[in-house]
Structure 1
């Protein structure tokens, strides 16, 4: 037995003693299933152990052990992420939080819920609905992604234009630090400014600063049945005009989504939905303000579309028809998956005034690369999801795909945008972070990381690259 094997065996036994043998997986054939998230073609290691704790105390025990032995720890929820943020590290611990899945409290009087990280997003939404309340963040994977992952990545979704992202609903957290200490941040009150805003620090930190084991989340009154609009346009510029005028006119739809021609045709091929296949872009919008207010908002949006020269505009207050139209939007990614063996899904947010320019730029990048690139996104907040479709078994296509992916990020930055609006940085975009935030900001990131995780054991290699010789994660 080598020294390394002996050391690993020692800490694995300690882990089994702390959690119980049924909560620690070590068979490589089993642990391989926890090696990566949904991001394609992002490097992943093989964990030496997969730990499945059931309580904050057990998470604390895992991190105390890992800190003592210098073992890297990768926190993980359902694995729905798209940037490799939950990808395993060779020889490390993958800390899976799905067994901590209790909705501990829903308070109608305080409009809040207290949840563990393994609660599925939809489960909380359903629990809130039973109290006449609403948890707005709705990632595309809302029916299987977990809230711990949503918190770690600061996830968004289709409702962001009106309701914002996950961070806007986090009142307080319970977080286990790298050394096993348990930190509580925030409060249950609507207002509170005592001390630094540590809650916001941990939301979106991608598991690099601590492990979230409980969250107190704000809820909203349940929305009214929506009124839905669909409009098709001959040019992306017309679509961009409507997006700008929605903002300047003060309209706040609960959803405002866009699909380019590539996505329209892919979805129509999949769903046989009789979409306008010749349109350059399709806008989908909803208002959930209810009654006459919703009808007036959609009527005003209809006028904006018609004034911009829309080829077709249709609205409906029928929930079933509205759901069908929104399903077409949600099926964009599955539809694109049918066009090639591999996808690189991007997540670039640009100023809303630049949405049309960005869509046209992606079309130009697709032509240069000789690949299919479909663009779908949240037009209301400028968060676009260009998806590069290619044959992963073809080295030339793979090279062009990565070049196109980088060109899309560069385009987004050149338009005053960001490399990620809601998916996070993870491993996929770690080389791009400094290009966006600059060296001073990156040095502050590293200082915060070192202060909370001096040994660099938490999710190494994610968000930014390690400094050579600076420990496990830099």
Structure 2
């Protein structure tokens, strides 16, 4: 595949780009540019950009991509920078194309849709929808700081996807700038539309490698009913995982989250919330079924927990009280980060294989002598093992990297995936062929070649 030139052009060449952009959109000062090198991973391997474009309109995006094509310069699209797989980390000599200034959100109650610019935050869409009694379900733990463009790029999920699905289930249309600068409008406010190829789905999850999303049309649903909440603790994560499987066989929880002992203790160390430090695992489940069915569903979950060996169960229909436990779950990754340097996984398996995955992760942790706390969207089999090692310890870092690789291979061997919602980015690129195989990898590269023959769009990310 054609790749971009490694020789960055002289900064004077940027004069032409600056003239084609909204005044002030181009940043070239080293201090300003440095702020856009990393996503949340802060990977030391991130490159140094030539410049940053803070697009103020789709026309700025088009002008940037056209200029980059003319000068054979890489373009790294960027939303809020909250990504967890290195997908928006810069490459040397690139233009970082930030969509953070595109923040428009328009709600159409009649069609139950939101037309949202790429830089708008997930929480802003939720708030705007709520004013009309509507709800946007995709719910990453970072919903308060992550952008819709980034959510589309990685096909983000979150805590509610066990019942309500992930980003792709709510994307009806996209505006995308292609590698030659063409702005295409795909889909729209139609719930059903099978005209032509499913191009909207092609761009969701493509991590900015096929085009730059500038706007999305999102499906909304009626506001969620106040949920009932169940918290159950277990002696082992395997016991908790077996209950997750049992619940999934008969019930449809609106949330089913798991925290192991290490992640529970990390949260308690970070901010005391009264969680059981002695438990081997904690399950957090919710039901938003209508009316009396909500209480019946949460009672059925409690019964399955007790039959599965729960140490303790607590239920509440007070939404505010339930949200306190949800807040603890959302805080887990930040809390674990305080224990040392981390490598964050995002592996998933078919739900019946969840106990095997958790057992295997524990064995990898023991073998490589690294701590691997686990938090999980357990109801759909998506786990986040977080490999923790002492910063500055080269030997520990090497063991952590080996554990990182083995966790992905374990998931693949169980019929799973190396990413459920964070994307491949640059950190998992080498593991993708093991999951997809040579024929699918070849097909992926043919699609990339067709849409981006120069290879300028986010090179090194995804595949």
Tell whether the structures are fold-level matches, with TM greater than 0.5: yes
Matched residue, 1:297: 297
Matched residue, 2:3: none
Matched residue, 1:467: none
Deviation at 1:370, TM superposition (A): 1.5
Aligned-pair RMSD on alpha carbons?
Answer: 1.4
Deviation at 1:40, TM superposition (A): 4.1
d(CA) in 2 for partners of 1:213, 1:267:
36
Matched residue, 2:130: 129
Structure 1 pair 128–158 and aligned structure 2 pair: CA distance change class (3 A): same
The question of whether the paired residues in 1 share the 8 Å contact of 2:348 and 2:381 is answered with yes
Matched residue, 2:338: 338
How many pairs does the alignment contain? Answer: 458
Deviation at 1:58, TM superposition (A): 1.6
Deviates more, 1:186-195 or 1:452-461: 186-195
Matched residue, 2:307: 307
Indicate the SS of the match to 2:16: helix
Matched residue, 1:79: 81
State the TM-score, normalized to the length of structure 1. Answer: 0.94
Structure 1 pair 7–305 and aligned structure 2 pair: CA distance change class (3 A): closer
Indicate the SS of the match to 2:180: coil
The question of whether the paired residues in 2 share the 8 Å contact of 1:124 and 1:135 is answered with yes
Matched residue, 1:179: 180
Deviation at 1:298, TM superposition (A): 0.3
Deviation at 1:20, TM superposition (A): 4.2
The runs of 5 or more residues in structure 1 that have no matched partner are 465-474
d(CA) in 1 for partners of 2:191, 2:22:
40
d(CA) in 2 for partners of 1:6, 1:423:
30
d(CA) in 2 for partners of 1:289, 1:277:
31
Matched residue, 1:377: 376
Matched residue, 1:281: 281
Deviation at 1:53, TM superposition (A): 1.3
Indicate the SS of the match to 1:380: helix
Matched, 1:66 2:55: no
d(CA) in 1 for partners of 2:16, 2:153:
27
State the TM-score, normalized to the length of structure 2. Answer: 0.96
Matched residue, 2:199: 198
The question of whether the paired residues in 2 share the 8 Å contact of 1:153 and 1:206 is answered with yes
Indicate the SS of the match to 1:373: coil
Deviation at 1:6, TM superposition (A): 9.4
Matched residue, 1:470: none
Matched residue, 2:239: 238
Matched residue, 2:26: 24
d(CA) in 2 for partners of 1:28, 1:19:
20
d(CA) in 2 for partners of 1:366, 1:419:
17
Deviates more, 1:281-290 or 1:269-278: 269-278
d(CA) in 1 for partners of 2:236, 2:90:
43
Matched, 1:436 2:438: no
Matched residue, 1:209: 210
Matched, 1:150 2:131: no
Matched residue, 2:329: 329
d(CA) in 2 for partners of 1:59, 1:446:
24
Indicate the SS of the match to 1:348: coil
